């Protein structure tokens, strides 16, 4: 046994490396994983995918067992094996162990260079989970029985990819505990009422949806009257047709409900039981995935058993497209049908395709299953999420080319395993492909690896990638093409280099630009898009997705769209004239929090976090930026003060005067100023609010003003011994020192030194002021317009003159919010401020990690989901190259936590028919050919002659070219159309929108492209 030793450390959780994964898995699962040991047998294409994902996740150790020597064919699926490894005849596990170890210094990588010896399996006793790939079925059964015989039982997973199909089996023993079945964040709901009944019904406030299911558990807090509910666990039963009410059992003996209260879901662990492989072979429990192929899982199960039987009898895999082997395969399948599994109607066409491609290996399928199996292994050692029970069979039979068997002839190169699955014609098209991918993050890295294994753009063509981001440490946990030595380097450049390491033949061009309207007429023009065969999104925001979708639709290019959020992922195929586009389905609308809620009446910690984030933006970004801008625009201070003293308004002067008046000159000033902010934010504001609305305030209808969900505030009394109070002062003073360029030492921020600074500070007493507080949820945030009178202008002039004496132009350090640098104090400040505001409103304290996620708008991510989604995209890429029909494409929706897999046919491009009879889809555009001298009238006549419609409006973007009721536009009819259009030198056309006589108000014609050759 060889090993690759990691850093000699305790199994701690590195927040900067694992931050996004922690948002998904949580500390308990991470700590259990950090103490677990996993054995992985088989280091082919599937094995290396599993190894990559498990290592990135951060288990204590991963042992790689394999007795195979690196071969030329391995290069087509095993991305950590190099050509030199093949030449030198290295063992597969040893060849890739060091590269796998590079992925995570906290994971110990060991190797075993021998086959599984079923006569002595005692070495398995040291592992928490054993994963088998590329093992005979009898070996799988023997190992499974051994794992079940141990106490505690060793978790067992077996998985294989044969050509275009895959099979995965899980057995986690007779009693496996799951502490969190779905990973969903628990929801809090304000309640409106609870009745006293044998079937007590809870009604949520304002008919809010509780989001619970029958059998879930809840607890209550802050309930008045029926206090028996508080801190008590109840199992719920939902009420059909009423998503805002539920039953919690007998409440007839409880006190009468008086008001208030919050209901919150509670995670309750559950235990599940698994059966052995030998039992499940005959009576399989299969997870169904493809909604259009309900009979396929049973066929795949039979095919899986048949393949193992064939290998056992023939000592080989079936030859590619061998008629003799196919007949023997069908005979074995027929003999097994009904004996080792339920009898099914045999689909010979499907079984023959499986048989004839079984000797190959589809690398994207390895990626999909590698992500799924790795996540199952993490479930096995952590208890987080629901395990697979117990089989998952997936296929990609649609990628197989139809035609003469000669197209599958082998060439003894790295693509033989792929060629066996898809044939030479499709492979040639892949090698000549022009592909444009936007984004080189987590999904982008996985995509590029898949392109390299598929041989994309290796003979001609080109893969163009773009990403304007730099590599950060937090990226390394799931963006596997990057290493610590790459930090602060461009993602696209390093991704391209790392991809060439996998396949040196690839043609890759790396850009560092955004794809946006600003680059539409320079880099990513219509000509650029039309030169691409396919576009791929590897993005993490909706705005960029929508823009790419619009560009692909406008230029009639296929687009493969995907995304992940924690264990969830989606894939969408967008294909010209066949499918709907990304924007055909509306994204859920963002629920904006009312201004009055954020300002004065927060209901939960999310509101407090948003308030704190806005305070950071105002104090450390907007105000310093405004001051810098003011003095750039007003370099002569004497002119500014003269204008103010004469009664003239100078924009921004009042804000600048306030900043100058409070400007600290040393560290002690920064500390004292932050202490004053504490009193203002968390003490005086509470007193002011209660001064205007005392706790006994009534509304016009006689009901209490302070009723759920409004919470009356409580002034917070400063106590430096409280860790949250100290953190607010420490981080706030640091940030003020940073923007004012005040020097300080690390010891200055210690509690004792801060206490010495504050011990003699005088804190002003609260004085109520006349001030209206907005209570309407419909009200918008008021503008921050400055108010002026002669006295305020005079005071402003004096402050600016006094503070700026002898200073030419001040320059504050503007702090742009950065969530990933824990040393900068940004999250520390927001976390402390949010929790202090929460304390003021009796809202429970939240941990820093959650606050960081919400304030930083971080999308939770794990490598397993990313790998699976990228693999599904690559399978669809092959279909795009093949020019598949609509029913062969698959949109995908997965949730590895449940686990749930839904593959379905994409939505067809909806057809629209205008009253005129013109029928079109979103992909269609009208076209007219003219010249630079074509007049507007001639253009209108040409349109009428071709489409039998009378134009009454011509628009280009936001520019109005022709509207007949505008007098000046009638004069344009005899002028060239291009005179009034925005034209660019690199185009010989303009894209226009037209409307016509007789159209309904909501009728919108397809876009029109006018060529002026």
Catalytic machinery residues: 596
β-partners of residue 156 are: 130, 171
Say if CB 63 and CB 110 are below 8 A apart: yes
| Residues contacting 310, CB < 8 A, separation 6+ | 317, 318, 328, 329, 332, 355
Chain Cα centroid distance, residue 109: 29
The Cα 992–Cα 928 span in angstroms is 11
Q: What angle do CA 78, 120, 156 make, to 5 degrees?
A: 55
Residue 270: what are its φ and ψ, rounded to 5°? -140, 160
Residue 875: what are its φ and ψ, rounded to 5°? -65, -40
Q: With the CA atoms of 202, 205, 206 and 207 taken in that order, what torsion angle do they form, in degrees rounded to the nearest 10?
A: -30
Is 726 strand, coil or helix? helix
DSSP 956: E
Mutual orientation of helices 363-382 and 442-454 as an angle, nearest 10°?
A: 140
- Per the document, the length of the chain is 1013
Cis bond leading into 709, ω under 30°? yes
The Cα 664–Cα 748 span in angstroms is 15
Q: How many beta carbons lie within 10 A of that of residue 470, not counting itself?
A: 15
Q: How many beta carbons lie within 10 A of that of residue 678, not counting itself?
A: 20
Say if CB 374 and CB 53 are below 8 A apart: yes
The Cα 828–Cα 663 span in angstroms is 22
Is beta strand 900-904 parallel, antiparallel or unpaired with respect to 912-913? unpaired
Helix (H) or strand (E) holding 188: strand 188-194
The Cα 498–Cα 481 span in angstroms is 6
Say if CB 78 and CB 96 are below 8 A apart: yes
Which CA distances in Å does 24 have to 57, 74, 700, 859? 11, 33, 46, 10
The Cα 981–Cα 959 span in angstroms is 8
Terminal Cα-to-Cα distance of the chain (whole angstroms): 72
Is beta strand 2-4 parallel, antiparallel or unpaired with respect to 108-112? antiparallel
Helix (H) or strand (E) holding 736: helix 723-739
Is beta strand 286-287 parallel, antiparallel or unpaired with respect to 237-239? unpaired
| Residues contacting 513, CB < 8 A, separation 6+ | 466, 468, 519, 523, 524
| Residues contacting 848, CB < 8 A, separation 6+ | 827, 828, 831
Sheet order of strands, 891-895 included: 508-511, 462-466, 434-438, 534-537, 559-565, 568-574, 891-895, 900-904
587 token code pair: 């994204």
Is beta strand 891-895 parallel, antiparallel or unpaired with respect to 568-574? antiparallel
The Cα 67–Cα 114 span in angstroms is 4
Is beta strand 959-962 parallel, antiparallel or unpaired with respect to 951-956? antiparallel
Which CA distances in Å does 281 have to 275, 295, 331, 335? 10, 17, 19, 15
Q: With the CA atoms of 459, 464, 469 and 475 taken in that order, what torsion angle do they form, in degrees rounded to the nearest 10?
A: -40
SS (H, E, C) 533-570: CEEEECCCCHHHHHHHHHHHHHCCCCEEEEEEEECEEE
């Amino acid at each position: 046994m060889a090993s690759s030793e990691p850093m000699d450390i305790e199994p701690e959780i590195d927040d900067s490396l694992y931050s996004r994964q922690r948002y998904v898995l949580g500390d308990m699962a991470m700590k259990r994983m950090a103490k677990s040991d996993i054995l992985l047998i088989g280091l082919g294409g599937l094995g290396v995918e599993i190894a990559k994902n498990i290592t990135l996740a951060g288990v204590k150790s991963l042992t790689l067992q394999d007795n195979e020597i690196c071969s030329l064919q391995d290069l087509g699926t095993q991305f950590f094996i190099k050509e030199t490894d093949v030449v030198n005849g290295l063992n597969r596990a040893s060849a890739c162990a060091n590269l796998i170890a590079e992925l995570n210094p906290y994971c110990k990588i060991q190797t075993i260079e021998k086959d599984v010896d079923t006569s002595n399996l005692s070495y398995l006793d040291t592992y928490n989970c054993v994963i088998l790939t590329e093992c005979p079925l009898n070996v799988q059964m023997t190992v499974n029985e051994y794992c079940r015989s141990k106490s505690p039982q060793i978790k067992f997973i077996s998985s294989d990819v044969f050509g275009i199909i895959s099979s995965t089996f899980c057995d986690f023993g007779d009693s496996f505990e799951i502490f969190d079945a779905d990973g969903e964040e628990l929801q809090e709901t304000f309640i409106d009422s609870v009745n006293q009944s044998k079937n007590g019904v809870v009604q949520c406030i304002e008919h809010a949806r509780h989001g619970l299911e029958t059998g879930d558990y809840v607890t209550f807090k802050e309930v008045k009257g029926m206090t028996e509910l508080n801190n008590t666990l109840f199992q719920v039963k939902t009420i059909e047709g009423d998503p805002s009410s539920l039953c919690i059992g007998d409440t007839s003996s409880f006190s009468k409900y008086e008001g208030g209260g919050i209901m919150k879901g509670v995670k309750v662990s559950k235990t599940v039981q698994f059966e052995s492989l030998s039992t499940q072979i005959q009576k399989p429990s299969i997870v169904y995935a493809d909604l259009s192929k309900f009979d396929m899982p049973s066929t795949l199960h039979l095919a899986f058993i048949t393949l193992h039987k064939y290998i056992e009898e023939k000592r080989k895999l079936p030859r590619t497209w061998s008629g003799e082997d196919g007949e023997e395969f069908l005979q074995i399948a027929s003999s097994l049908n009904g004996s080792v599994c339920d009898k099914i109607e045999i689909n010979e066409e499907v079984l023959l395709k499986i048989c004839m491609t079984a000797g190959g290996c589809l690398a994207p399928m390895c990626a999909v299953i590698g992500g799924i199996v790795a996540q199952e292994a993490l479930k096995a050692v952590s208890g987080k999420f629901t395990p697979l029970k117990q089989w998952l069979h997936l296929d990609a039979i649609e990628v197989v080319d139809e035609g003469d068997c000669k197209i599958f002839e082998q060439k003894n190169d790295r693509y033989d395993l792929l060629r066996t699955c898809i044939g030479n014609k499709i492979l040639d098209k892949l090698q000549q492909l022009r592909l444009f991918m936007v984004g080189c993050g987590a999904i982008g890295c996985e995509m590029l690896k898949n392109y390299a294994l598929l041989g994309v753009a290796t003979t001609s063509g080109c893969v163009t990638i773009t990403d304007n981001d730099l590599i950060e440490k937090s990226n390394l946990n799931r963006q596997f093409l990057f290493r610590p030595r790459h930090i602060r380097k461009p993602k696209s450049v390093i991704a391209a280099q790392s991809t060439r390491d996998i396949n040196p033949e690839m043609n890759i061009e790396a850009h560092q630009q955004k794809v946006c309207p600003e680059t539409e007429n320079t880099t990513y023009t219509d000509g650029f898009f039309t030169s691409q065969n396919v576009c791929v999104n590897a993005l993490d925001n909706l705005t960029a997705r929508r823009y790419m979708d619009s560009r692909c639709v406008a230029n009639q290019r296929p687009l493969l769209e995907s995304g992940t959020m924690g264990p969830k992922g989606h894939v969408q195929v967008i294909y010209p004239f066949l499918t709907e586009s990304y924007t055909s389905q509306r994204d859920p609308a963002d629920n904006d929090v009312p201004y009055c809620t954020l300002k004065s009446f927060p209901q939960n910690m999310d509101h407090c976090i948003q308030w704190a984030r806005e305070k950071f933006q105002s104090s450390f970004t907007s105000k310093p930026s405004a001051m810098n801008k003011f003095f750039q625009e007003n370099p002569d201070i004497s002119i500014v003060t003269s204008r103010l003293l004469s009664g003239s308004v100078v924009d921004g002067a009042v804000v600048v005067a306030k900043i100058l008046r409070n400007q600290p000159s040393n560290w002690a000033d920064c500390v004292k100023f932050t202490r004053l902010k504490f009193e203002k934010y968390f003490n005086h504001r509470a007193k002011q609010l209660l001064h205007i609305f005392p706790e006994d305030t009534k509304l016009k209808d006689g009901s209490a003003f302070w009723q759920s969900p409004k919470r009356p505030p409580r002034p917070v009394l400063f106590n430096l011994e409280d860790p949250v109070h100290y953190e607010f002062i420490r981080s706030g003073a640091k940030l003020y020192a940073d923007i004012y360029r005040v020097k300080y030492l690390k010891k200055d921020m210690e509690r004792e030194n801060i206490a010495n600074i504050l011990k003699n500070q005088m804190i002003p007493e609260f004085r109520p002021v006349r001030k209206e507080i907005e209570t309407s949820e419909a009200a918008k945030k008021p503008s921050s317009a400055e108010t002026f009178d002669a006295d305020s202008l005079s005071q402003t002039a004096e402050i600016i003159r006094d503070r700026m004496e002898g200073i030419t132009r001040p320059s504050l350090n503007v702090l742009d919010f950065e969530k990933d640098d824990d040393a900068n104090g940004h999250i520390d400040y927001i976390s402390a401020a949010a929790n202090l505001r929460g304390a003021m409103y009796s809202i429970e304290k939240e941990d820093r990690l959650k606050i960081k996620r919400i304030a930083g708008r971080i999308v939770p991510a794990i490598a397993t989901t990313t790998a699976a989604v990228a693999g599904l995209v690559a399978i669809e890429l092959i279909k795009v190259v093949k020019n598949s029909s609509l029913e062969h494409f698959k949109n995908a929706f997965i949730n590895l936590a449940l686990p749930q897999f839904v593959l379905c046919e994409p939505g067809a491009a909806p057809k629209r028919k205008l009253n005129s009879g013109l029928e079109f889809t979103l992909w269609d555009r009208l076209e007219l050919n003219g010249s630079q001298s074509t007049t507007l009238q001639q253009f209108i006549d040409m349109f009428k002659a071709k489409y039998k419609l009378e134009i009454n409006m011509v628009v280009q973007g936001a520019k109005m070219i022709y509207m007949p009721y505008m007098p000046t536009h009638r004069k344009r009819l005899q002028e060239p159309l291009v005179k009034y259009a925005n034209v660019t030198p690199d185009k010989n056309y303009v894209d226009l929108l037209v409307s016509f006589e007789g159209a309904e108000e909501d009728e919108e014609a397809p876009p029109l492209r006018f060529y002026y050759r």
